[in-house]
Amino acid sequence: MAQDNAPSPADGARLDFSKAMSYGDYLHLDRMLAAQQPRSRDHNEMLFIIQRAAFKMLARVARVMAQLNQSWDVLATLTPAEYSSFRDDLGAASGFQSFQYRAIEFLLGNKDAVRMEPHRHRAEIFTGLDALHRESSLHDEAIRLLRRRGFTIDRECVERDWRAAYAFNESVCEAWVAVYRSTAGNWDLYELAEKLVDLEDAFRQWRFRHATTVERVIGLKRGTGGTSGVNYLRRVVEVELFPELWRARTAL
Ligand code: HEM
C-alpha cells in the first residue's frame, strides 16, 4: 500500500496512450462529438444540441453541475458484480484520460502539466490543452478584475506564469473580505464571488459522489487508469479551486 500513497502528482496513472485504448477511444468520442454540427455560430445552439457546457453563464453551469451530480444516483445502482463483468474489457481506459475534464479544470484554474500527458500522442488535443494551460483561468481573471476595481492585489497574482499551480494569497483574501463587508458598493463582485462559490461547491459534490460511487463499486482496487483508485479520488476531493473565497468566510 505504500505505493498508493506515493506523492506522485498523477498517482501512478498510466500516461502513455500512443499504443493503448484510452477512455475517449473506448467511447468513440470523436464520432459522437462529430454528430454535433451546429448550423449557426451561436453558442446557444450548441447548448441546444448537447444540453451541456456553456461556460459563459455561471448560473447555467451550476444547473448543469446539479444535473451531473444527480446522475450519480443512477450509477450507484451498479453492483460490484455487474461492473466486474466488463471491467477487464476497459483495459487501461479511464476517466483520467478525459481531455474535456482537464480542459474544465484548466479553465477553472486547477493547472497540472502531468494531466496532459495521456494526450501527447494526439497532437490536436494536446495543443488545445496546452493552450488552456498557458492561458489565465477563470480564477485568475476574477483576481485581475479585483485589481482593476481598485483592490490592492499582490503583483505576482496578476502577472505570473499562468501554467503554475495557484497558491492561496492573502491580498486576494483581504479583497474578497472587503467585498463581502460592503456588498452594496460591490454588488457585481459580490454576485461573482457567490457564483464562484456555487460552482466550486457543485464541483466538490461531483468529486465526492464520484469517489463514493467508485468505492461502492470497486472498493479499494486500483483504477483502470493505474492510480490507487479511491485513495487518489479522495485526494482530488480536497483540491481547492478558489481558496481565498473559502478562507474569507472565516474572517467574516
Ligand atoms: C462505476 C463507475 C466508475 C468507476 C468505477 C470509476 C473509477 C475511476 C477511478 C478509479 C479513477 C481514478 C483514475 C484511474 O486510475 O482510473 C477515475 C477517474 C476519473 N473518472 Fe471515473 N469512475 C466511474 C464513473 C465515472 C463517470 C460516470 C465519469 C464521468 C461522467 C467519470 C469520470 C472520471 C474522471 C473525469 C476522472 C479523472 C479524475 C481526476 O483525475 O481528477 N468516472 N474514475
Ligand 1 center to 96 CA (angstroms): 6
Burial class (CB in 10 A: 0-12, 13-18, 19+), 111: buried
| Residue 118 per-residue DSSP state | G
Q: CA Rg, the chain, in Å?
A: 20
Where along the chain do its domains lie? Answer: 14-83+95-251
**pTM, to two decimals:** 0.85
- Measure the CA–CA gap between 135 and 153, rounded to whole angstroms: 19
| Distance from the alpha carbon of residue 74 to the mean position of ligand 1, in angstroms | 15
Please give the Cα distance from 135 to 137 (Å, whole number): 6
Distance 180 CA to ligand 1 centre (A): 36
* Phi/psi of residue 251, nearest 5 degrees: -80, -10
The CATH number fitting domain 14-83+95-251, selected from 1.10.8.80, 1.20.58.480, 3.40.50.300, 1.10.10.10: 1.20.58.480
Question: Which residue do the cell numbers 484548466 mark?
Answer: 106
CA angle 238, 242, 247 (to 5 degrees): 85
Give the per-residue pLDDT at 69.
Answer: 96
Protein residues whose CB sits closer than 6 Å to any atom of ligand 1: 13, 75, 78, 83, 94-96, 98, 101, 210, 214, 217-218, 223-227, 229, 232-233, 236
Query: CB of 25 within 8 A of CB of 93?
Result: yes
Residue 45: its pLDDT value, please?
Answer: 66
Q: What is the pLDDT of residues 85-141, one digit of tens each?
A: 989 988 999 999 999 999 999 999 999 999 999 999 999 999 999 999 999 999 999
